[in-house]
Amino acid sequence: MSSPTKILVLGAGELGLAVLRAFASSEHSSSAKITVLLRPSTAELPSSHPKVAPIYALKTVDIVPCDLVSGEQSELAAVFKNFDVVIGCTGSDASSRGSGEGFQVKLAKAVLEAESVGLYVPWQFGLDYDAIGRGSDQDLFDEQLNVRDILRDAKKNGATTDWIIVSVGMFSKLLSESWFGIVEKDQEHGQWIVNAFGSWEHAITVTAEEDIGNMTAAIVFAALSSDDGLRNSVVFVAGDTFTYAELFDVVNRVSNGQAKKGREWTISEMKSDVEADPENMTKKYRWVWADGVGIGWPKETTFNGTRGLDLVDVTGLAKRSLTP
């Protein structure tokens, strides 16, 4: 009997926990040993602490302590070499802004240095960064492209580590965050306001966090079990893809006619907002969606679409957006 595949998940925030739950509940879970990497101060917390209780509740997940931010590349590589698969769920940090040589680049280089890691899924779960290109409105994105270049170049030069990038579009949580500005509650009039970034006809892809976890697990297990072209490629996932106009129609329907159209933020308005407040990351993200490039793809061509896998669609996403 072959030994189980050793899978390491970096971080257990909202996405990391969704990924851990997906692996732990997968029909293929018996073929894998799942470990989560946490910063030492978190790993030392008692099992009843709210930060780690959901991890301990999974029962089959081990914890390894390591500080990914302060640790040297060689230190991280020494940890990673004990695993067959590494999945990044930690996001970017301040060192990534502008330089393109921050936290995520260090992780990618450490994975390659470990050599024994057969598959790496980096933190790239958002947009189509290849389509967006360098020098975009969001200065964090250049590092995402640098990570892709590092992994692609390493593979061309004979590296044994394969990689898979999972692109899911917008995380569904952003739809319901009033500070982000797509769906807002007008408390005075008891209505829901739907705003558009760039144009009412811009199509965006949005995926629920638990579906991101489930599809990541499905993609990894599929890549481990067969040679189906998933390795060393960008794999697209979509809970649903819709225009802002379509989102308004759905929100209006599920709220029983209690929705109204708000602003259509133009690209020039978004640009002016960023120029007036250049350190505001929220405004930079809005500008990216206003540009309309690399933010959406046809659902039918995605990993889940071609396999007939049902995820939370625009109606389900809209209902969640209206939940207090």
pLDDT in tens, 43-58: 999 999 999 999 999 9
First CA to last CA across the chain, in angstroms? 50
| CA distances in angstroms from 323 to 183, 190, 232, 254, listed in the order given | 11, 13, 39, 11
Last residue of one domain, picked from the residues 167, 196, 225: 167
Q: What is the pLDDT of residue 1?
A: 43
Last residue of one domain, picked from the residues 152, 167, 182: 167
Structural domain includes residue 276: yes
Structural domain includes residue 120: yes
Q: Nearest 5°: CA angle at 130, between 127 and 136? A: 75
Same structural domain, 145 and 253: no
Same structural domain, 139 and 38: yes
CA dihedral 50, 56, 62, 65 (to 10 degrees): 20
Same structural domain, 117 and 181: no
Query: Dihedral of CA 203/209/215/216: which sign?
Result: positive
Domain of 121, in residue numbers: 5-167
Last residue of one domain, picked from the residues 142, 167, 192: 167
Give the residue ranges of the chain where pLDDT is below 50: 1, 96-100
List, in sequence order, the alpha helices (H) in the chain: 14-25, 40-43, 53-57, 73-80, 103-114, 129-132, 141-156, 173-176, 209-225, 244-254, 267-276, 281-291, 303-306, 314-321
Structural domain includes residue 226: no
Structural domain includes residue 56: yes
The pairing of beta strand 85-88 with beta strand 5-10: parallel
Q: What is the pLDDT of residue 100?
A: 46
Same structural domain, 178 and 163: no
Structural domain includes residue 221: no
CATH number at residue 78: 3.40.50.720
Same structural domain, 200 and 150: no
Same structural domain, 178 and 137: no
Q: What whole-number distance in Å separates Cα of residue 162 and Cα of residue 154?
A: 9
| CA distances in angstroms from 231 to 88, 123, 194, 287, listed in the order given | 16, 16, 38, 32
Same structural domain, 100 and 161: yes
Largest CA distance in the chain: 64
Q: What is the pLDDT of residue 265?
A: 93
Same structural domain, 83 and 42: yes
Q: What whole-number distance in Å separates Cα of residue 290 and Cα of residue 24?
A: 37
Q: What whole-number distance in Å separates Cα of residue 227 and Cα of residue 143?
A: 29
C-beta separation of 223 from 300 below 8 A: no
Structural domain includes residue 147: yes
Same structural domain, 252 and 149: no
Same structural domain, 36 and 122: yes
Mean of pLDDT over the chain: 92
Q: What one-letter code names the amino acid at 300?
A: E
Same structural domain, 28 and 54: yes
Structural domain includes residue 213: no
Structural domain includes residue 52: yes
Same structural domain, 100 and 199: no
> How many structural domains comprise the chain?
2
Residue 95 per-residue DSSP state:
G
Closest CA to 214 of 310, 84, 297, 298: 310
Closest CA to 30 of 228, 221, 158: 221
User: Residue 203: beta bridge partners?
Assistant: 243
